[in-house]
Each structure stands twice: as structure tokens, then as C-alpha cells.
Amino acid sequence: MSDRIHSLSGYIYEYQKSVQAPEQFWARIADGFHWQKPYEKVLSWNFEKPDVKWFEGGQLNITENILDRHLYTRGDQAAIIWEPNDPNEQNLILTYRELHAEVCRFANAMKAQGIEKGDRVIIYMPMVPEAAVAMLACARVGAVHSVVFAGFSASALSDRIIDCQAKMVLTADGNFRGKKSIPVKALVDEALEKCDSITSVITLKRTGEEVNMQAGRDYWWHEVIEGVSSEHKAEVMDAEDMLFILYTSGSTGKPKGVVHTCGGYMVYTYYSFKNVFQYNQGDVYWCTADIGWITGHSYIVYGPLLAGATSIMFEGVPTFPDPGRFWAICEKYKVNQFYTAPTAIRALQAYGTDPIAPYNLSSLKVLGTVGEPINEEAWHWYHDHVGKGKCPIVDTWWQTETGGIMISPLAGVTPTKPAYATMPLPGIQLAVLDNEGQELKGNSVEGNLCIKFPWPSMLRTTYGDHERCKQTYFSSFPGYYFTGDGVKRDEDGYYRILGRVDDVINVSGHRMGTAEVENAINEHPKVIESAVVGYPHEIKGQGIFAYVICDLEGRSEESLTQEIKDTVTKIIGPIAKPDRLLIVSGLPKTRSGKIMRRILRKIASGEGDHLGDISTLLNPEVVTSIQEAVHASKA
């Protein structure tokens, strides 16, 4: 398929076409795929309900476009290269032919366990090739996968299982992370104490640690695939059938299950992958994300494999066995496109350039970032020391809900500007709105980032609660999809993401709802009230700052602080553990009883001397006592 844009004028031309005639534009891309039945209507949409359908009437299976279609043209080409946590362990390469066989075999094994089209299957696994096989096997049989990041706690896992009423869990005994080995199956066992929808659990042997196997429920991965056929006829899916659910945090309540469907997601992840990264056949592409996040879904598994790419999956962490690991892997596989998070860049930047020096990085052509704003210093370090000044950086802005990259340079095509995601991809019609909902036209404006026209990989609903989808994304500014991000469009029409404008914080590129962390903190029996805000953090982008009112009777602040942090780890996972937790006597409130987060954010950011007028607060004296507590805790 020749869907690649090669020049800036080509981009401008394609963009214009995509706005003038979106249906023809996307039909052209979609027609490059194998459809079991052609679609009848490219698009129907209504942002009020919301109700969006792409390629209605069309039938397909995404795995036929990933696997079967590539068997004849690139059966022997590596589809997935797996690099283990320990560099001394044997790596694994799965060709398209082998991946096809593994997916079909596991699809048959899942069917034998009673999985049918439409059933929900939880994948709670380390970064091993079987995790990708699991996702694709679900898609093959028409089951809806919901991958849960293996760093989430048992409690977070059970919440997700219950919300989607999953029937099966695919997991592993343990997870190697640097020098550590983390139990995984034990957490599944704990989670399942609260869930009754699960009928079977399939466990992959990875770390070899002892696990508990419950008869009639638990099966070993290697046993269920033994002697199973590697041929499987893919389930016929409607374009708008669910492909997967991925839970993500918002500003209120529990994480919501973002729903993506088969046809549109296929078309958009393929198209955006090819264009943003300018992937050429034969290139080796590496995205360091975890499959537990949308980046892992769209740009380790689906997008690259739809494009027939060779995609690396890395099990470990950037600093094990030493901070040169990323660069060692780039050299080992002659990586051409490298895609990571600003947090990882900043963490590695802190080690200086010595860990890079021993490695030959001349294969690199494109560098990418995702998940959070990249500061200019990190951008330059990445550009100069990793890319040696010759690799364009694609700063890609998008979200779990968007399914694919929305704003980004196309590598080598769009002139870059440090810290700018630059321009929208073809088909993406952005709007900057002021707080009253007026669209700000022209350049040099700042406001709320919205999207005013559907794109194929947009979320369709939030699982089991369509009203929540409407309220969260389509109600703040009627007629628009609201992203929750602030944005600036500069004098050149370039977009710079300014960060969240809601109560969501971005910690190391991971999205956290402040309410979610507060709910976890409040689970501790000694906690009376809490407020959580983000603050600038040198490595993580944002850190989590928790102000907590406690019943201190008979307890030391120190032990209570630790216990509350442990409670958050237990309820959500280590990624949500507050970086700073301050026990305070009160929280600043308005006369109507609302917590003044603006003030708490300023104090947490070290801007406590510039709070403005606080005399209208119900309890202005609390502010002084909080400031004293902050100073005392730093001392």
C-alpha cells in the first residue's frame, strides 16, 4: 500500500484532501486491507450522543491483516524480536509465519476453554512475546481483550475484572524487572477472591517461581497449547465490533474502560504508524512502552504489525544491568526507529553521555517521544546525544481515547520545533476553544484542545456506561470531543501541549486521577480527609503531592505517612504512591466547602509566596500552617 507521505507539500495536500473529503480519504486507506465483506458506509456520526461508526457493514478480522496477509510476502521476516530483561538470556525472534502459528494455536486453546466471540479476557502479563500472542489470539476469536498493566495491584486488577465481567485471565507466574522478580500469579489469586465471573486462568511459566494452581480454574500455558493445531479460521467481525477495552484514569471516580472497535482502529493505527515513523520495509522499529498502555497496543502490536514491520518488545528496564541498556539494544538490533517516553530520556540524561559512548547508534533514523510534554533540555539531549543531530524527533501527542497519534511531526517531513508536537495528522481536525466554548481561530492562541470531526480510531464508548463517555468527553464543549489538555497554537500554527486542564496528573507518562489517589489514601482508617495535586518533578514530569488530615492519636507522623503510602500501593500500585505526603491540620476551602486545589498546587510547586488573595477562604489560617508544614518537611 502506498499510503506514505514523503514531503511537506505532500502532507499539506493530503491534509487538505482529508478535510475536504474525509470519507474518500479514509476509504482509500481502508481499501488496502483485506475485508471479508466490503463496508457499505464509510462514516456516520453524531457527537451529541455520541455515536460514531466507521466502515459500517464491513466485515474483517484484524489478525488476518496482521498475519495471514503477510504470510506470502514476508513469512520469514521477523515480526517480533523479544529482548529479555537479562541480556545474558537467549532472545527470541518470531517471524510472521511463526507468529501466525502461535496466535492460531493459542486461539484454538482459548476456544477449547470455552471462550466465544464477545467474551472479555483480561491480559495481566509481563512484556513477553506471549502477551502479544494473547492479544492477537483474542482478536482472532473475537474475544475482547483488556490488558491490565502488570504493575497494577490486585485490587486494581479485580476492579477491572468486575467492571468488564471478564471470563478468563491470561497471566504469568512472575515478572522480571531489573534485579527484581515480581509475583504476578499471586496477585491474580488475590484479585479473584473478589470476582466470580472468571472461569479459567492460564499462566505462563516465566520466572519459575512457585505458584498456587486451583484445580478446575488454573491451567498452564504450555499445557493448554500442547498438541493443539496451529491452524485457525479467524472469526468474522463487524467493523464496529469491540476489539478491546483499555482502562484509563480520569478526573472522577474509578478508571473507565475505553472501548475501541475493529475496523477504524485497524485503519488508523496502520496509517499513523507508517507516516509518523516513516517506516520502510526492512527497518527495525522499537517502542519501549509496556503493552499495558495504549502505546503498547497501537505502536508495539497493532500498528507496526499491520504495516508488516519488525517490532521489538523489551522485557526489562532502561537501567538494568546499567544505564546503557537502551543503547546496547539499539546497537544489537540496528534499530532504525526508537520511540520512548520523556521520563525515560530524563532519567538517562541524569547519567550523562558516558553510558551512550560505547555504542554504535548509526542505524537510528527517527526518534520518538510520547506520553507527556518533553522539556526543551531533554529534547536537545535526545536530539544531540542519541540522534547525533541527524534524527528528526517525533513528539507524538495522543491519548488512550484517540487510539492513535493525533498531533506529531511526520519524521523528516514536518520541520520540528523543540517541545512542540507540531501539526495534526491528516484527518485530524483540531479546535482550540476558550473556556466559554468559543473556537479561537487564527494563530497565537491558547485554550482547550478539542477535536471537531471524527477519526477512525476514536473511542466509541466507555464500557458499560455510555453516559459517562458523553459526560467526560462530549459535554464540556457540545459538538466537540474534549481532550482534557490545554494547548497553544503559536505564530506558525504549530501546536504545543500545555498539560492537563482537569484533575488528572501525568506521572512518568502515566495518567493518574487525583480523585483516584485520594480515594485510595482515604481507605486508611486513620485518614480523615485528603487532597492530591501534581507538582513539577525533574525526572517524572509531575510528582504526586498528597495533603492528608489524620487522626494522629498515639501514632507518629512518620509511621503513618509510610502506612498511607503503602495503602496507595496496595490499592492502585506503586505508580500511584505519593512522592510527597504531608500530614496537615486542615485543607483550604471556599465558603461553599470546596477544596482550593489551586492553592495546594502552588504550595506544592514551591510558589507558596504568590498565592494571591486568600482572604475569601473559609479558613485562610490553614494556608499558613500548611506552608509551615511544607517548610518543616523540607528542613
**Which residues make up the interface to ligand PRX (CB under 6 A)?**
248, 293-295, 370-373, 395-400, 421, 483-485, 497, 500, 506, 511
Tell me the H-state helices in 503-619: 514-522, 557-571, 597-604
How many CB atoms sit inside 10 A of residue 419's CB? 17
Shortest reach from residue 57's CB to ligand PRX, in Å: 30
Q: Which amino acid is at 265?
A: Y
> How many alpha carbons fall within 13 Å on the CB side of residue 196?
0
Q: Would you state the torsion angle of the CA atoms of residues 426, 1, 68, 265, taken in this order, to the nearest 10 degrees?
A: 10
Q: What grid cell was written down for 519? A: 480515594
Residue (25 or 382) nearer to ligand PRX, CB? 382
Residue (428 or 497) nearer to ligand PRX, CB? 497
Q: What grid cell was written down for 591? A: 465558603
Residue (310 or 506) nearer to ligand PRX, CB? 506
* Residue 182 Ramachandran class (φ > 0 left, ψ -120 to 50 alpha, else beta): beta
Residue in the shown chain whose Cβ atom is closest to ligand PRX: 400
Choose among 359, 314, 362, 363: nearest CA to 340.
Answer: 314
Shortest reach from residue 246's CB to ligand PRX, in Å: 9
Shortest reach from residue 408's CB to ligand PRX, in Å: 8
Place of cell 482472532: 140
> How many alpha carbons fall within 13 Å on the CB side of residue 330?
27
Residue (128 or 294) nearer to ligand PRX, CB? 294
Residue (109 or 123) nearer to ligand PRX, CB? 123
Shortest reach from residue 283's CB to ligand PRX, in Å: 22
Residue (221 or 268) nearer to ligand PRX, CB? 268
Residue (234 or 504) nearer to ligand PRX, CB? 504
Residue (159 or 372) nearer to ligand PRX, CB? 372
Shortest reach from residue 273's CB to ligand PRX, in Å: 13
Residue (35 or 420) nearer to ligand PRX, CB? 420
40 vs 53, 111, 263, CA distance in Å? 11, 31, 13
Shortest reach from residue 559's CB to ligand PRX, in Å: 34
Cα Rg for the chain, rounded, in angstroms?
A: 24
Choose among 146, 218, 209: nearest CA to 183.
Answer: 209
Kindly report the three-state secondary structure assignment for every residue of 240-255: CCEEEEEEECCCCCCC
Choose among 370, 364, 369, 408: nearest CA to 386.
Answer: 364
Residue (224 or 421) nearer to ligand PRX, CB? 421
DSSP-assigned letters across all residues of 465-501? -HHHHIIIIITTTTTSEEEEEEEEE-TTS-EEEEEES
Shortest reach from residue 352's CB to ligand PRX, in Å: 25
Q: What grid cell was written down for 440? A: 479561537
Shortest reach from residue 414's CB to ligand PRX, in Å: 14
How many CB atoms sit inside 10 A of residue 506's CB? 20
Please, what sign has the CA dihedral across residues 310, 412, 487, 468? negative
Shortest reach from residue 112's CB to ligand PRX, in Å: 35
Q: Which amino acid is at 390?
A: K
Residue 595 contacts residue 531 (beta carbons within 8 Å)? yes
Q: What grid cell was written down for 435? A: 473556556
Residue (318 or 541) nearer to ligand PRX, CB? 541
Shortest reach from residue 70's CB to ligand PRX, in Å: 26
Shortest reach from residue 561's CB to ligand PRX, in Å: 28
Choose among 615, 74, 597: nearest CA to 309.
Answer: 74
Residue (340 or 483) nearer to ligand PRX, CB? 483
Tell me the H-state helices in 178-234: 185-192, 221-224
- Rounded CA gap, 531 and 493, in Å? 37
Shortest reach from residue 152's CB to ligand PRX, in Å: 13
